[in-house]
Amino acid sequence: MHRIGVVGAGYVGLTTAACLAHLGHDVVCADVDEAKVERLRRNEVDLVEPGLAELLEQHEIEFTTVFPHEVDFLFVCVPTPAGEHGEADLTAVHDVVAQVREDTVLVLKSTVPVGTAQGIAHRPTVSNPEFLREGHAVEDFLRPQRVVVGSADREAARRVAALYGDVPVVLTDNTTAELIKYACNSFLAVKLSFVNTLAELCEQVGADIDGVTEGMRLDERIGAAFLRPGPGWGGSCLPKDTRALLTTARDQDVEFATLRAAVDTNDHQVRRIAQMIEGDRIGLLGLTFKAGTNDLRDSPALAIARLLVGEVSAYDPAISHDIDGITVVGTPEELADGRDVLVVLTEWPEFAELDWPALADRMTTPVLVDTRGVVPAAKVREAGFRLVSVGHPDGRH
Ligand code: UDX
């Protein structure tokens, strides 16, 4: 058992603290936000993350606002927000580096620009990027597809990997580890933009995106995941990390054309979806960037809403407050009242099972735009809707 410090009690820090405690380590978790630390001491968690509250309840974790000096390993899980020009603000990381004790292994989990660890004087520093998906963070931490540990001190990197138990490990140097994180999220973004353009092409040539991606996903070289078209990709990582990698490439005079195109395609997708939405009174089904989270950061739904002229309301099972001038209502039926068009923007499973005839009755003109391919097309049409479905010619489905 090791004494481990975690700095930052956000989504990554809390998951890290809870899971390391679950793996049998003695964990102290520090955050500068006193009110948050007080709540955590009372076992109150603000995050919607399956399994997290249970782990925090099961294990004794010390929550504190005091910097944890007496630790063998110190995990840095502080935010590195993008500044005005897309560059990461590393103030919080440098604050930690300035305080860490000499014989502590510093573990950088925060996503930092390629080359950051190399510029940190503290030894050993191990780069250990996180690959946690919101809504699956605990599962991703405890059963990772791989743990990446990079350091000039390979022994320190091995010791960090061992904290996770018996897991697949990629052992490398700091800079390679930092780049792996950006490479993964950027590759996913490229894959999604590719599929979103294919969906647009399907609508034009009369092909069906579900059939096309089924034919693609059975090819193991392509892989089955991240082939669902949507309103564009968003969230706290993909937009930020793609921009950061483009900045790194530009600084090195490397022309990363595929990635630039993926980002441009995503902007195009948002505009294209907004143009599909006709009507003065618009109802949005879903606001979060994906299902299973209450996170609205860089949500394509909000980007699309900003482009709409007309009166915009929304229903989202995870959101109860008005946002960005959008009135948020409590039920899909309320949303349908007097609307010209409904638009599915998040793939919440409950949207597949709405009472379509009841919704159609409440609308002025029953039109449904489905950007996620989640509604049962035949039932929706039977209920009297005109269905416009991304990737399906004339809404055929
Ligand atoms: C992502 C990475 O998956 C994770 O490894 C990293 O650590 C953080 O960023 P997350 O932001 O939680 O995780 O979302 P993810 O599930 O990857 O989805 C990203 C975006 O792509 C969402 O907007 C989602 O709706 C969209 N998406 C995903 C699609 O449109 N189609 C798909 O098939 C998959």
Same domain, 248 and 169: no
- The annotation status of 135 as a binding-site residue, yes or no, is no
Query: What's the 185 CA to ligand 1 centre distance in angstroms?
Result: 8
Q: Which domain holds residue 112?
A: 3-173
**Cα 50 to chain center, whole Å?**
15
Does any domain span residue 178? no
All residue ranges of the chain with pLDDT < 70 are 395-397
Write out the catalytic residue numbers: 237
Q: Give the Cα-Cα-Cα angle 50, 52, 55 (nearest 5 degrees).
A: 130
Kindly state whether residue 193 falls inside one of the protein's structural domains.
no
Distance 238 CA to ligand 1 centre (A): 7
Supply angle C-alpha 324, 344, 133, rounded to 5: 80
| Residues in the ligand 1 pocket, defined by CB under 6 Å | 130-134, 185, 192, 226-228, 230, 233-238, 289-290
pLDDT digits (tens, 9 = 90+) for 28-79: 999 999 999 999 999 998 887 899 999 999 999 999 999 999 999 999 999 9
Give the Cα separation of 343 and 301 in Å (integer): 10
* Residue 30 domain-assigned (yes or no): yes
DSSP helix/strand/coil, 257: helix
What are the E-state strand segments in 297-337? 311-315, 327-328
Q: Within this chain, do residues 144 and 224 fall inside the same structural domain, yes or no? A: no
Ligand 1 atom closest to the Cα of residue 372 is 30
| 51, part of any domain | yes
Which pLDDT value is given to residue 334? Answer: 98
Extract the tokens encoding 289.
Answer: 């960037």
Best residue among 16, 48, 181, 238 to mutate for probing ligand 1, ranked by most atoms within 8 Å of CB: 238
pLDDT of residue 82: 80
Q: Which residues of 208-246 are buried (b: 16+ CB within 10 A; e: fewer)?
A: bbbebbeebeeeeeeeeebbbbbbbbbbbbbbbbbbbbb
Residues 24 and 152 in one domain: yes
**pLDDT at res. 397:** 57
Assess whether 301 and 375 both reside in one domain: yes
With respect to residue 190, please indicate whether it lies within any of the assigned structural domains.
Answer: no
Rounded Cα distance between 148 and 174, Å, is 10
Contact 56, 14 (CB under 8 A): yes
Q: Is 234 annotated as a binding residue?
A: yes
Give one DSSP letter per residue of 31-43, joined into a string.
-S-HHHHHHHHTT
What's the CA-to-centroid distance between 135 and ligand 1, angstroms? 10
Domain closes at, from 115, 147, 173: 173
- Separation in Å, CA 144 to CA 12, 61, 256: 14, 22, 29
Residue 186 lies in a domain: no
Q: What is the pLDDT of residue 395?
A: 54
Tell me the pLDDT tens digit for each residue of 201-238: 999 999 999 999 999 999 999 999 999 999 999 999 99
Q: How many residues does the chain have?
A: 397
CB 276 within 8 A of CB 369: yes
**How many CB atoms neighbour CB 66 within 10 A?**
9
Q: Is 357 annotated as a binding residue?
A: no
Among residues 88, 91, 132, the alpha carbon closest in space to that of 113 is found at 88
Name the residue with the closest Cα to ligand 1, atom 30: 230
Q: Convert 368-396 to b/e letters by CB count within 10 Å (16 or more is b).
A: bbbbbbbbebeebbebebebbbbbbeebe
CA distance 131 to 210: 27
Specify if 185 maps to a domain. Answer: no
Of 216, 197, 217, 207, nearest to 392 by C-alpha is 207
Number of domains in the chain: 2
91 is in an annotated binding site: no
Neighbours of 310 (CB within 10 A): 12
Distance CA 343, CA 273 (A): 10
Answer yes or no: do 371 and 322 share one domain. yes
Same-domain status, 96 and 227: no
Whether this model's pTM surpasses 0.75: yes
The CA-atom distances, in angstroms, between 112 and each of 2, 33, 128 are: 26, 22, 11
Q: Of 36, 15, 18, give the one whose Cα is nearest residue 27.
A: 18
CATH of the domain at 56: 3.40.50.720
User: Which distant-in-sequence residues (6+ apart) come within 8 Å of 248 by Cβ?
Assistant: 113, 114, 182
